[in-house]
Amino acid sequence: MKQTKRRPVKKAVPSAGRRASGLKAAPSVLERALNGRTILVTGGAGFIGSNFIRMMLAEYPGLRVINLDKLTYAGNLENLADVSCDPRHKFIHGDIRDAALVAGCFERVQGVVHFAAETHVDRSIVDAGEFVLTDVFGTYILLEALRKAPGVEFFVHISTDEVYGSREKGFFRETDSLNPSSPYAASKVGADRMVQAYHTTYGAPTIILRPSNNYGPYQHPEKFIPLFTTHALEGRTLPLYGKGRNVRDWLHVEDNCRAIECLIRRGRLGEVYNVGANDERTNIEVARRIVKLTGASKDLIKFVPDRLGHDTRYAVNINKIKALRWKRKVDFEEGLEATVRWYMDNRAWWTRIKEKNAAFKSFYESYYKDRK
């Protein structure tokens, strides 16, 4: 075992933070400053990461961001075109599994927000290998760097509500047991629990966020809302899995980014926080709404063979993050309308992905072969 600079905690007290290591107890609400700081964002060329970087640079003139992204099929520098010339944003093309590169990044920053992951459930059903390698092993590499970097004051890990699995009624609390269904969700559980273990064992300054389904601008067209919106605009069939009765709690990406900002500033180290909109919709409701907003024919909606292990419903209790003064701002009806408008106005962005991205095209052709 290598020497580390962080002091290990004596026993497992997940919520006690650095108190357990004999260090001064973290106040229940700690206001961390952001201006004048540099943060590392992993996966910042993806959907949520790029929205987060844009929002943070706009809100904190004194903040610098290092964005480490491998640019997999899901990463896209066009998502950050408007901040590409901003000297406060430095992009590094690299893999979170590259320990030397990661260690160098950690030396230069005071905080980390970790988004990088393989994220598409359907892809994980076809082949889970990259999910284990990036989501679990990649997170482990970051955590090893974290415990050797005393200058890093916080590490916000973006987990998911999918770690809890599905439930018909009620809402999961942060203390509920984890019961993932898909290989994607299982890989996120691996990462989530490694993060907590590094807090418990080494006193690493971690905070975990478990958000519900996000939607908004720059979401990859492989995901439900952008796939259906762009297909509807192209007059293509909208492949609705099963009976379309599965329920998701759609959270606008800006509200999620504000939740991350809230945790950086006021979240308690060592804690887990759920976030969601508590505004549930069945998939068929969302599909009908998209058809209406795009002016497409409702006949485009086609029921197709279900996703394997398809979770019926995700739902999280959000009282804990609300106590930190986070509140959803975007109503789903308005947020969906604005999102559909964004896809209408940014046709070139998604056409390039759908027509030129070989990884997207080949996956779509084979996965949806019997679903078109």
The residue nearest ligand NAD at its CB is 46
Least distance to ligand TYD, CB of residue 179, Å: 15
Q: Which of 95, 118, 162, 174 is catalytic?
A: 162
162 a catalytic residue: yes
Question: Among 203, 239, 267, 270, which residue interacts with ligand TYD (rule: CB under 6 A)?
Answer: 239
300 near ligand TYD (CB under 6 A):
no
Question: Among 9, 121, 191, 207, which residue interacts with ligand TYD (rule: CB under 6 A)?
Answer: 121
Which residue stretch of 90-98, 194-202, 235-243, 320-328 sits at the interface with ligand TYD (rule: CB under 6 A)? 235-243
Alpha helices in the chain (DSSP H): 47-59, 99-107, 121-126, 129-131, 139-147, 183-202, 224-234, 253-266, 283-294, 319-322, 332-345, 347-356, 358-367
Helical (H) or strand (E) element with 66: strand 64-69
User: For residues 222 and 300, which CB has a smaller minimum distance to ligand NAD in the complex?
Assistant: 222
Q: Kindly report the CA angle at 352 between 347 and 358, in degrees rounded to 5?
A: 145
Residue 92 DSSP SS3: strand
Question: Among 21, 67, 246, 357, which residue interacts with ligand TYD (rule: CB under 6 A)?
Answer: 246
227 near ligand TYD (CB under 6 A):
yes
Question: Among 102, 149, 158, 259, which residue interacts with ligand NAD (rule: CB under 6 A)?
Answer: 158
Binding mask 38-67 for ligand NAD (x = CB under 6 A): ----xx-xxxxx------------------
Residue 124, contacted partner among ligand TYD, ligand NAD, none, CB below 5-8 A by kind: none
Paired tokens of 353? 């992905």
Residue 207 DSSP SS3: strand
Instruction: Please classify residue 43 by burial: count the beta carbons closer than 10 Å to its beta carbon, then call 0-12 exposed, 13-18 middle and 19+ buried.
Output: buried
285 a catalytic residue: no
166 near ligand NAD (CB under 6 A):
no
Sign of CA dihedral 21, 24, 25, 28: negative
User: For residues 13 and 132, which CB has a smaller minimum distance to ligand NAD in the complex?
Assistant: 132
188 near ligand TYD (CB under 6 A):
no
Residue corresponding to tokens 């979240």: 267
Binding to ligand NAD in span 109-148, by CB under 6 A: 115-117, 119, 134, 138
Residue 185, contacted partner among ligand NAD, ligand TYD, none, CB below 5-8 A by kind: none
Yes or no: say if 260 and 234 are a contact pair by the CB < 8 Å rule: no
Q: How many whole angstroms separate alpha carbon 55 and alpha carbon 49?
A: 10
Yes or no: say if 194 and 201 are a contact pair by the CB < 8 Å rule: no
240 near ligand TYD (CB under 6 A):
yes
**What residue type is 345 in one-letter code?**
D
Least distance to ligand NAD, CB of residue 75, Å: 2
70 near ligand NAD (CB under 6 A):
yes
User: For residues 139 and 246, which CB has a smaller minimum distance to ligand TYD in the complex?
Assistant: 246
107 a catalytic residue: no
Binding to ligand NAD in span 299-358, by CB under 6 A: none
Q: How many whole angstroms separate alpha carbon 119 and alpha carbon 333?
A: 25
3-state secondary structure 219-252: CCCCCHHHHHHHHHHHCCCEEEECCCCCEEECEE
Alpha helices in 5-46 (DSSP H): none
Yes or no: say if 142 and 114 are a contact pair by the CB < 8 Å rule: yes
Summarize as ranges the residues that interact with ligand NAD (CB under 6 A). Answer: 42-43, 45-49, 68-72, 74-75, 95-97, 115-117, 119, 134, 138, 158, 160, 188, 211, 213-214, 220
Catalytic residues: 161-162, 184
Summarize as ranges the residues that interact with ligand TYD (CB under 6 A). Answer: 121, 213, 223-224, 227, 239-241, 246, 248, 283, 307
